[in-house]
Structure 1
Amino acid sequence: MQRIRTSRRARTTLATAAVVLATAASLTGATASADCRQLPGHIFAPYFEGYTADSPAALAAASGNKYLTLAFIQTPAPGSCDIDWNGDPAAPIAWSHYGADIAKIRAAGGDVVPSFGGYTADHGQEEIADSCTDVNKIAQDYESVITTYGVSRLDFDVEDYSESNAAGVDRRNKAIKIVEDWAARTGRRVQFVYTVGTNMTGLNVPTGVGVIQNAVANHARIDIVNIMTFDYYDGQPHEMAADTATAAAAVVQQLRGVYPHASDSELYHHLGVTEMIGIDDFGPPEVTTTADAVTIEKWAAKKGLAELSFWALQRDNGGCVGTGGSDSCSGVAQNTWQFSNTFEAFTKR
């Protein structure tokens, strides 16, 4: 993330909010198909840096995480309609890549969420909906990830050009709608998450809010709006736990305008929060401490958020105190996996 970093790295009116923004009960109450498991209604799923040679299953076991968000899927070059992990043709969307890890994670009672995009892909127009102009092919790519890995949730990290490119935003939401219709026909339950940047005053206007508004216009159900509560880049003092709550409240008020029939409580139930543990890309004063993590987890549980996450699992150690924005350590003094151990309680509540 930079907001999410990687090294390769609404219908305009609604009869009810449940038409597009599904209720929490509807997300968890349906019977899952045989090859498409359902995730808990409240889940902690940190991002795993897929551009490394690390094993997701090994790190999940070592850190105690049951669920991981695997980052990222993108095209190998602008203009392509093909997708690979991190745009690397040597890491195709195939069971041969990550399949054994996913099987081990599931055997331990967990699962994974594949994520499309990431800052580098979004910036370089290698995010699939920016790169490919064929909506049906984009939808087929989404379906291929779902069927290859048997997953029930896709995450879309939308930043930079991918947030402001109106044509790509529209293609992405049209493709999501196609996949939702396909899932309904085939008896699957598939959830869709938009991971987007936020400021202290909420989503970017008009682009960030526009991503969600366009989903509604295309009848695409977005199950979770997952906000990245870091990299504010405003040069102001920040207390990251308190500012997470402030930013989330601002986003909920914006979403009320998009989904006017949903209560604030319902909107919080469809909100996710992603932190960047330790010192983020901007550096001090944007430092999420181990004490902040305790406060954030308790707040997220009290509000009934749908998702809690952080960037990134490989950073969850104290190996580089004082270093900001590292891919391999948090930059703060901590025990290894301390943030994971704190946030994991969120899934159990």
Structure 2
Amino acid sequence: MSSGVRRRSSVVGSASARCAVLALFLLGACGSPPPAPAIGSVAPYVYVGGALPALAEVSAATGVRRFVLSFLLAAEGHCAPRWSQGRAVADQALLAQAQQVRDAGGALTVASGGARGRYLEHACSTPHQLADAYGRALSLTGADTLDVDVERPVPVERVASALALARQRHGVSLVVTVPVRDAETGLGSQALALLRALDRRDVPVTANAMIMNLPQRDDWRRTLFAAAERVTSQLQRLWRLPDRSDAYARLGLTFMAGRNDTGPVTTRADARALREFATDRAVGFLGFWSLGRDNGDCPGLPTAVGHCSGIRQPVHAFTRSLAEGPRPAQPTVGRTAP
């Protein structure tokens, strides 16, 4: 993910298991199925290298209860975690925000990697060192999910072993966030190699496809849907899943709010359509890049930047779209247009 600054997960193998997961999220009973399947989890990515938003207030205003803290990197090139732009991993302002989210019943994901900076995955020379680095951030923030955002080549076997160790030590869910090349190709060889390495270790993950910055085929929304379906087919094959619904349950989709780095614009109507797509298929995760861009402060800007979406919108409109159920697009006027 990029845009000026850059850029779970349960494994569900049967209808009864899926029903149990849905019951947890919807507070319903398996004897009375909901009218539509639920998404496993929704969350905006939060770039913590700049000014911190009031996450608990955003949660109260939008209904979103999970945030993805981004990104863990290597401090001065060493095997020691820090946040983007040099923010200390034990930064008190960030930890206070994390505590407030958890106190309000919310949850956090810690994300490493991203588009820029020295990766921990490169700086740490052994799986145990890398797992220790992940574990420090997980323990400090109280996060229950670890997301490894792999946008550059990494030592696949080392990372897979470290993720297995982190899951064993901390009991966290795991997400592997990977770029989508285009709607026809889907995931590239690097992403597939890491997912295969985790599969060999029997480590369950959500494969989170970055459906952003893609070549646009014709209509942008159809391009996003086609990319999502292509990745689902790849996952179903890779994990040898007889039921496509099981592949959807382990699929994540992350879009870029507003203007993408490559030019196309993901509108609020597109976000609602993606929410409906994910709900209909019971997708494991839906997110977007990023909370800091989720405002209408730079409508019409022809290039993507890190602090606004580039389109006319109310503040936190995309964040709200994650939590809201499907609904028809509303007519818009002036600054609140998609």
TM-score (norm 2): 0.81
Give the conservation status (yes or no) of the 8 Å contact 2:52–2:94.
no
Deviation at 1:330, TM superposition (A): 0.8
Give the conservation status (yes or no) of the 8 Å contact 2:209–2:252.
yes
Q: Give the AA of the match of 2:164.
A: K
Unpaired runs of 5+ in structure 1?
10-19, 32-39, 184-188
Note closer, same or farther for the CA distance 1:28–1:140 as it changes in structure 2 (3 Å cut): farther
Deviation at 1:5, TM superposition (A): 6.5
Deviation at 1:77, TM superposition (A): 3.3
1:132-186 Cα shifts (integer Å, max 9, x gaps): 2122111111222222222210111111x3xx34xx2221101111223334xxx
Q: Tell me which residue corresponds to 2:131.
A: 139
Give the conservation status (yes or no) of the 8 Å contact 1:22–1:221.
no
Map 1:211-290 onto structure 2 (within 5 A).
Answer: 211-217=194-200, 219-232=201-214, 234=215, 236-283=216-263, 286-290=264-268
Unpaired runs of 5+ in structure 2?
25-37, 327-338
Query: Percent identical across equivalent pairs?
Result: 25
1:300-339 Cα shifts (integer Å, max 9, x gaps): 1001011111111111111111223111111112122211
Deviation at 1:242, TM superposition (A): 2.2
1:10-43 Cα shifts (integer Å, max 9, x gaps): xxxxxxxxxx9554849959x9xxxxxxxx9721
Distance 2:209 2:269 in 1: 20
Match of 2:300 among 322, 334, 348: 322
The residue matched to 1:45 in structure 2 has which SS? Answer: strand
Map 1:287-298 onto structure 2 (within 5 A).
Answer: 287-298=265-276
Q: Tell me which residue corresponds to 1:55.
A: 53
Deviation at 1:240, TM superposition (A): 3.2
> Is 2:334 the partner of 1:342?
no
Give the conservation status (yes or no) of the 8 Å contact 1:279–1:288.
yes
Show structure 1 runs of 4+ deviating over 6 A: none
Match of 2:164 among 164, 177, 193: 177
Give the conservation status (yes or no) of the 8 Å contact 1:230–1:280.
yes
Deviation at 1:231, TM superposition (A): 0.5
Map 1:10-21 onto structure 2 (within 5 A).
Answer: none
Give the conservation status (yes or no) of the 8 Å contact 1:290–1:339.
yes
Match of 1:192 among 163, 171, 174: 174
Q: Tell me which residue corresponds to 2:311.
A: 332
Q: Tell me which residue corresponds to 1:13.
A: none
Distance 1:169 1:273 in 2: 22
Distance 1:212 1:289 in 2: 31
Distance 1:52 1:238 in 2: 36
Give the conservation status (yes or no) of the 8 Å contact 1:28–1:41.
no
Distance 1:309 1:271 in 2: 11
Larger CA deviation: 263-272 vs 173-182: 173-182
Match of 1:114 among 110, 114, 132: 110
Aligned residues between the structures:
304
Give the conservation status (yes or no) of the 8 Å contact 1:44–1:346.
no
Give the conservation status (yes or no) of the 8 Å contact 1:95–1:149.
no
Larger CA deviation: 298-307 vs 254-263: 254-263
Larger CA deviation: 146-155 vs 272-281: 146-155
TM-score (norm 1): 0.79
Q: Give the AA of the match of 1:101.
A: Q
Q: Tell me which residue corresponds to 1:150.
A: 142
Note closer, same or farther for the CA distance 1:341–1:84 as it changes in structure 2 (3 Å cut): same
1:74-123 Cα shifts (integer Å, max 9, x gaps): 10233x111111162xx3322735221112112322121111011003xx
Give the conservation status (yes or no) of the 8 Å contact 2:66–2:108.
yes
> Is 2:97 the partner of 1:101?
yes
Deviation at 1:244, TM superposition (A): 2.1
